[in-house]
Amino acid sequence: MAAAGLDALLVSDPANLYYLTGYQAWSFYTPQLLFVPAEGELLLVTREMDARGATRTTWLPIEQILGYPEELVHVPDRHPFDWLASELRRRGLVAPARVGIEADAHFFSPKAFLALEKGFGEWELTDSQELVNWVRAIKSDAEIATMRTAARVTTRAMQAAIDTIGVGVPQHVVAAEIMRAQVLGDADAWGDFPAIVPLLPTGAAADTPHLTWSDQRFVAGDAVVVELAGAHRRYHVPLARTVMLGEPSAELRRTETAVAEGLSAVLETIRAGVRMVEVADAWNAVLARYGIEKRSRLGYSIGVGYPPDWGERTMSIRASDPTVLTENMTFHVICGMWMTGYGYEVSESIRVTADGVETFTDFPRALISKG
């Protein structure tokens, strides 16, 4: 904040609230905010209903939690942050200052932003440019340990998917067994709710990566992409694999070979000190040899996640990203190939180490043949 010239920060992203205070509840459908002054006490602002029990998850004392009145929930003419402006003014906390907002955070609406602009005329509001997300980029050992626990959930969930997928099985039945496994987890590695539901792009519809399930049945010849994450205490470890029902086409086999080689090249390139462009180049060089191009990014930073995204919205694996890799950065390296008529995905969630990578799961990487 000092480097960015910020006197205070208004944090809205539920993942950032959790990271900074431990606050965790499904309360982000109504406005909430953490006031982080450069000097002074944090203040967590939620709906009154949620403020009361917030100390069950956050380390903040009850005196630093403000609940706005229930009658401000979903009314057209007033915003909870109008109330906040009076409340902070009453506490003498509103003086001329340069205050960061999370201008691109999920659940921070233009209406909320305009209420802040109106209520806090003394403040120069400026985009914090994902400041807290960037602080989250390099994980502590405790965070890495939590991600290793999440990875155990991931493995169980992927195994449940593979065990269930088959010719004639409806998509939603597979989704049901994945979700059960995602929450049951693996003994003490209990599963927290993942930020994204299981995605199962299949056959020709695999050109639509974010399609969710229906009761449509898998048929012989389908290549079923499974993209899911295990989560533990809000930390995510995503994983993608492809299950083939019957014999793969020559084209799919060729894609698999290219992607396997490309992913290996990427994992061999990643280590602390390497620039992201080198990682992207390693991938693109292999794909070019096979005459394949992938326009979307090859992955993104992961860690704490809330719906609708388990990515951190900071670093992306692509040539234009200026990042220099640092030990304990964590990424989902996802080779998502959305081809005409079929799709193929394989991914690894990884930690950057001093001399290479740690993959969080050790799930076999090849195309999985069933039935």
Binding mask 160-199 for a copy of itself (x = CB under 8 A): ----------x-xx-xxx-xxxxxxx--x-xxxx--xx-x
Structure-token pair, residue 169: 């099985």
Q: What is the DSSP string of 20-53?
A: HH----S-TTS--EEEEESSS--EEEEEHHHHTT
Binding of a copy of itself by 56 (CB under 8 A) = yes
Binding of a copy of itself by 159 (CB under 8 A): no
Closer Cβ to a copy of itself, 183 or 271, answer by number: 183
Choose one: 35-43, 51-59, 218-226, 267-275; the region binding a copy of itself (CB under 8 A).
Answer: 51-59
Cβ(259)–Cβ(266) below 8 Å: no
The least distance separating a copy of itself from the CB of residue 30, rounded to whole angstroms, comes to 9
Contact by Cβ (8 Å): 287, 293:
yes
Rounded to a whole number of angstroms, the minimum distance from the CB of residue 70 to a copy of itself is: 4
Which of 73, 138, 277, 292 forms a contact with a copy of itself (CB under 8 A)? 73
CA distance 365 to 191: 23
Based on the shown chain and the rule CB under 8 A, indicate whether residue 25 belongs to the binding site for a copy of itself: yes
Burial class of 1 by CB neighbour count within 10 A (0 to 12, 13 to 18, 19+): middle
- Is residue 110 within the footprint of a copy of itself (CB under 8 A)? yes
d(CA 310, CA 308): 7
The residue from 104, 124, 261, 327 that contacts a copy of itself (CB under 8 A) is 104
Residue 275, interface with a copy of itself (CB under 8 A)?
A: no
For residue 36, the cross-strand partners are 9
DSSP state of 217: B
If binding means CB under 8 A, how many residues of this protein chain bind a copy of itself?
Answer: 82
Cβ proximity to a copy of itself, 125 vs 271, nearer residue:
125
Does 59 contact a copy of itself by CB under 8 A?
no
Please tell me whether residue 177 adopts helix, strand or coil conformation.
helix
**Any contact of residue 138 with a copy of itself (CB under 8 A)?**
no
Q: Which two tokens stand for residue 311?
A: 């990515």
Query: Amino acid letter at 92?
Result: G
Residues 284-303 within binding reach of a copy of itself (CB under 8 A): 295-297, 300
Interface stretch with a copy of itself, choices 34-42, 74-82, 242-250, 262-270 (CB under 8 A): 74-82
Considering only 86, 129, 257, 264, the residue that binds a copy of itself (CB under 8 A) is 129
Q: What is the largest CA-CA distance in the chain?
A: 70
Under rule CB under 8 A, which residues in 245-264 are in contact with a copy of itself?
A: none
Looking up tokens 């003086």 gives 95
Q: Which amino acid, one-letter code, is at 301?
A: S
